[in-house]
Amino acid sequence: MISQMRIKKLVTYFMLFTAILLLISCGPKARVPTSQLDTPEHHTYTGLRLLDQAKYGDAQREFELATSLDPKFSKAYTGIALVKTATGDFAAAWDNLKLGWKHAKADDEKLFVYVSRIRYFTQSKLEKKWLDLAKDEFDSAILTDAKHAPAYYFMGLAYKAGLEFDLAGRMFAKVLELKTDYISEADVQWNLIQKIQRAMPGTINGKIIAIVDRITRADAAALFLEEMKIDVLYKKRTLKTFDTSFKDPEKAAVAGPAKITAKDIADHPLKADIEGILEIGVRGLENYPDGNFHPAEIITRAAYAMMLEDILIKVTGDNSLATKFIGSTSPFPDLRADLPYFNAIMVVTSRGIMEAKDMTSGEFAPLNPVPGVDALLIIRKIKQELKFD
């Protein structure tokens, strides 16, 4: 009886051992390198360089070549996660971040995962408290290495995306202080934060627009209403007109004023601002002939200047501004005096509300887009010009 039990135990152990061997043999096998540079380290380095150039397909191929050489190479999986994050495949990104962490042994591998998780939370925003989650990863990173510049840089981007501009500025300043990695990138971001703080956006929409690279027609409507408070400005500065003609009380009560709207803004988050601007009337922000507002259309510097000129004319009552510089010589090498927006550009630049895009060449760049922070700073200047704050 005892011998039979021993035999059963031996058979069980043998079967378990065989199963383990089968699992090991079925696991991914590392391929044989074909050259001296065919290494996981080199492919991962190349992948990160391609990732920075937004060549996502090429970057992923390099990271996969790295994992084919070493199926446990942590940084390659984390690199794939960054590719998936950048391309919006957040489920795959998180799976690869887990693999990157699973195989991370050295501090530099763990730091790479911490920072990549900051980037994941910042770009995905899938969690309601995504900024807190990013901050947890940052705390873990600096506990590992208090001078790890990438952690400060990407946490700075996280704070900027979360509209925490003071905290973002501190992160970028720390990167500049460390003088190791991301110095030029942090310098650009730090200067942007300084501009945003000078512009002092007073509304949530203003803060959101401050960090965009180019504003849209919808953004312009929101800025004029919420940051410039154009409706209040017009009421204070324009003459009131009164319609004293007879109105049938019953018909007037039934009809009421017709609401001005656009066909393509029904579900737009800035619908109220757009309708407010359509009601007020700003040249360059009217509906198109097809009845659409085209809220996503990018605003050029020339178009923005024309809008500002219209506001100045209406607020000051000085209609001569509309023709003041016609026939003048253009001071900008890229701006002809016969262009329809020449006068508007001259009106705003002569008052210091807008300025040349490139101070070295003197170019105005009329067809360039308007960054959000510049749009806010210009609004601040026009409010100072009109002594309205």
Whether 170 has a pLDDT exceeding 60, the answer reads yes
216 bridge partner residues: 298
Confidence of residue 16 (pLDDT cuts 50, 70, 90): low
Residue 12 has pLDDT above 90, yes or no: no
Classify residue 138 as exposed, middle or buried by CB count within 10 Å of its CB (0-12, 13-18, 19+).
buried
Structure tokens that stand for 32 in this block: 């044989």
At residue 242, the pLDDT reads: 47
**Of the listed ranges 27-31, 50-54, 66-70, 238-242, the one predicted with least confidence:** 238-242
Nearest alpha carbon to residue 131 among 158, 150, 154: 158
Q: Is the residue at 16 inside a domain?
A: no
Picking from 232, 368, 241, the residue whose alpha carbon sits closest to that of residue 311 is 232
Can you read off the two tokens belonging to residue 123?
A: 């770009």
- Counted domains in the chain: 2
The reported pTM is: 0.84
Residue 280 CB neighbours (<10 A): 18
C-alpha distance from residue 372 to each of 164, 205, 208, 271 (Å) = 16, 11, 9, 19
CA angle 132, 157, 82 (to 5 degrees): 85
d(CA 87, CA 123): 10
Give mean pLDDT, residues 1-27: 55
Q: pLDDT at residue 203 above 60?
A: yes
322 in the same domain as 195: no
Looking at the fold, whether 199 and 217 belong to one and the same domain comes out as: no
- The whole-angstrom separation of Cα 304 and Cα 370 is 8
Assess whether pLDDT exceeds 90 at residue 88. Answer: yes
- Domain span at 152: 40-204
pLDDT digits (tens, 9 = 90+) for 253-276: 554 566 899 999 999 999 999 999
Helix/strand/coil for 215: coil
Same domain, 118 and 230: no
Task: For residue 359, give both structure tokens.
Answer: 């101070």
The verdict on 59 and 129 lying in the same domain is: yes
Considering the chain, what is the average pLDDT of its residues? Answer: 90
- Is there a single domain that holds both residue 200 and residue 217? no
Asked whether residue 116 is domain-assigned, the answer is yes
Structure tokens given for 15: 């079967």
Q: For 357-372, what is each residue's pLDDT tens digit?
A: 998 999 999 999 999 9
Contacts of 144 (CB under 8 A, 6+ apart): 107, 110, 111, 114
Average pLDDT over residues 123-143: 97
DSSP 98-130: HHHHHT--SHHHHHHHHHHHHHHHHHH--STTH
Average pLDDT over residues 168-190: 98
In a domain, 264, yes or no: yes
Predicted pLDDT of residue 365:
97
User: Amino acid identity of 34?
Assistant: T
Same domain flag for 359 and 281: yes
Please tell me whether residues 51 and 166 are part of one structural domain. Answer: yes
Phi (first) and psi of residue 115, to 5 degrees: -65, -40
Cβ contacts of 61 within 8 Å, gap of 6 or more:
47
- Lowest model confidence (mean pLDDT) among 30-44, 76-90, 151-165: 30-44
Query: 226 and 342 share a domain?
Result: yes
Portion of the chain with pLDDT greater than 90, in percent = 81
How far is CA 173 from each of CA 85, 131, 167, 186, 314, rounded to the nearest angstrom?
26, 19, 10, 8, 43
| Residue recorded with tokens 């259309």 | 297
The domain boundary, picked from 141, 174, 204, lies at 204
Residues 346 and 234 in one domain: yes
Q: Do residue 143 and residue 261 come from a single domain?
A: no
SS3 73: coil
Q: Is the dihedral of CA 130, 135, 140, 144 positive or negative?
A: positive
CATH label of the domain that carries residue 148: 1.25.40.10
